[in-house]
Amino acid sequence: MPLVEVTYAPQLPEETLRKLGDALPHAVSVAVECPEEPYDGDLRPGDVEVRFRPLGPFDRSGLDVVIEVRSKFFPSRAENRQERVEGLHADIERAVGLANFGVYLSLPVAAWEQSE
């Protein structure tokens, strides 16, 4: 279950943020898909959590948007993580039209459990 944190410049249009929120669950699922956690194209509650927050007055960033994706470590994910993040960046650029943004993919050793 990936956790996605989106930090954005306050002047970014709401429509852009809405498009980004719509595109991220599928794009992230494709990017982190692996044999241990296959993606069947049918997202259910809890599969991808996306959180948005505007840059604060003391934050420093040269980008309009920074997207941080955290997903459980598996060796099959880690072996090609750079290709995965490059593909995710390209998918977001195509789907949303963002130009000045970055994507950070982190694969921590983690565990997850949720209510049914």
Global confidence as pTM: 0.92
**78 occurs within a structural domain:** yes
* CATH number reported for the structural domain that contains residue 58 in this entry: 3.30.429.10
pLDDT for 78 equals 93
**40 occurs within a structural domain:** yes
Number of domains in the chain: 1
What percent of the chain has a predicted confidence (pLDDT) above 90?
A: 88
Residue span of the structural domain in which 33 resides: 3-106
Could you tell me if 69 and 103 are in contact, meaning their C-beta atoms sit under 8 angstroms apart?
yes
Kind and range of the H or E run holding 8: strand 3-8
**114 occurs within a structural domain:** no
Q: Map residue 75 onto helix, strand or coil.
A: helix
